[in-house]
Amino acid sequence: MTVKIYNTIHKEKEEFIPREAGKVAMYACGPTTYNYFHLGNARMLVVFDMVRRYLAYKGYEVTYVQNFTDVDDKIIKRASEENCEPLALAGRYIEEYYKDANALNIQPATVHPKATDHIKEMIEIIKGLEKKGLAYPVEGDVYFAVEHFPQYGRLSGRNLEDLQAGARVEIDDKKLNPMDFALWKKAKPGEPAWPSPWGDGRPGWHIECSAMALKYLGPNFDIHGGGGDLVFPHHENEIAQSEGYLDGEQFARYWMHNAFITVNQEKMSKSLGNFFMIRDILKKFPGEVVRFYLLGTHYRSPLDFDDEKLEMAARGLDRLKTSVRLAGEALSKGKSTDSAGTRGELLNASSKARAAFEEAMEDDFNSAQAYASLFDLAKEINTALNEGGWTGAQIAEARDTLIDLAGILGFDLQKDSEVPAGESGKFNAVMELVLELRAKARADKDWSTADLIRDRLKEASIILEDTAEGSRWYLK
């Protein structure tokens, strides 16, 4: 099979053909570092971490670049509110980024460039655009002239005339066209600034990503990713300034965008007051549960947020972990229930699961459908352990396949299970005590207490199974 990617610029799924055989060059727009990153940022970061992991699993050598925007209007405003230096504020939140990213098991990028380390490259691009007649200076600012780039609007599907008609033009606007965007901004008192041919100033937001992507990946690189809110104007402007500078050579081959996070079916936004920082969510739920929730819906579909959905994600993840744990316990006892391994479903379960997993992931990285293959394999393991007809080799293969496939998505099924509310490491110990108390009740022929324990656990989606070798539990 071949990987297919929905390419935003062409509005359809396309076979993935990298620029260089066996290698993938990826760029994803990282956060603006003026605060902890939020749930919307987290979805984008986890999605492209998943894409990177799967391509590596398929044998590609992946170079993954994810930047930090560490100079921006938002950073300057926040620094002013906190009475500190903007670059110091940005540096502090870059450090905090790594803490939250690690909690979500997001692998560090191959390169994490900071915008402020690439001012020289940005100035060179702006000078090149000015020389080609695609940029013009006005009183220390420099703007990109969108009318001189005929393909403008190609990514977002927007017509320049319609954009101009809908634009709000200030009376004292210095731009020749309301849609022209800033490449360089004249320094204001108290703001970070760097010397340039147009005077001291700082770069515009869009030019930062173009400069960093081209430095580390070169033109015509494979995948450019980001959230759906970046399609316009950020990525549209990146294409215009990059391909204008490159004399029409392609900037990126495939454009991937994840959909929004919604809260009660409304887009998450600060103005609606339904804005959630990952740092706050991690106080209630383990990072692996948040990641499991984020990948449980196809990346191009909207994802609704509430605590109940995270609790459901926790139960789903623990179902997979329970299957791994039960398989390990059976193997540790060192005996098979059938020397010939006559249970046909388990014989083929591992290969079927891997094939289904790859089919889902190669269809535009459908992680939600890939989950189904994991749960199907876990069910086969549980059924085999309960009904018999398996050999140690079969159970070991099925368990190891389940661990491997989940690992491709960034989950460690051998970590201790964690309860939905995030009290990690204690749940198994509590369940061991519950099973001991119930075993004693059964030994004393106190059937009402034994049944009460079983029924109350079932109400909490914890299922008990009584076997010849004792009771065991799993999450429904």
Binding-site residues from annotation for ATP = 270
Distance CA 100, CA 36 (A): 8
Distance CA 14, CA 445 (A): 64
Give Cα 416 distance to the centre of its chain. Answer: 23
Distance CA 30, CA 26 (A): 12
**Residues tagged in the binding site annotation for Zn(2+):** 29, 209, 234, 238
Distance CA 359, CA 158 (A): 34
DSSP string, 81-142: HHTS-HHHHHHHHHHHHHHHHHHTTPPPPSB--BGGG-HHHHHHHHHHHHHTTSEEEETTEE
Q: Do residues 140 and 155 lie in contact, with contact meaning Cβ atoms separated by under 8 Å?
A: no
**Amino acid making up residue 100:** D
- List 303's β-bridge partners, or say none: 261
Distance CA 101, CA 106 (A): 5
The angle formed by the CA atoms of residues 47, 109 and 192, to the nearest 5 degrees, is 105
Residue 33's Cβ-side half-sphere holds a number of Cα atoms within 13 Å equal to 26
Any idea of the CA torsion for 112, 221, 12, 405, to the nearest 10 degrees?
Answer: -50
- Helix axes of 205-217 and 119-131: crossing angle, nearest 10 degrees: 100
Distance CA 261, CA 275 (A): 10
**Residues tagged in the binding site annotation:** 29, 209, 234, 238, 270
Query: In what helix (H) or strand (E) does residue 239 lie, and over which residues does it extend?
Result: helix 236-245
- Helix axes of 287-294 and 86-103: crossing angle, nearest 10 degrees: 80
- List 24's β-bridge partners, or say none: 62
Q: Do residues 418 and 289 lie in contact, with contact meaning Cβ atoms separated by under 8 Å?
A: yes
Distance CA 452, CA 322 (A): 22
Structure tokens at 92: 């502090």
**Amino acid making up residue 366:** N
Whether the link from the prior residue into 219 is cis, omega within 30° of 0, is no
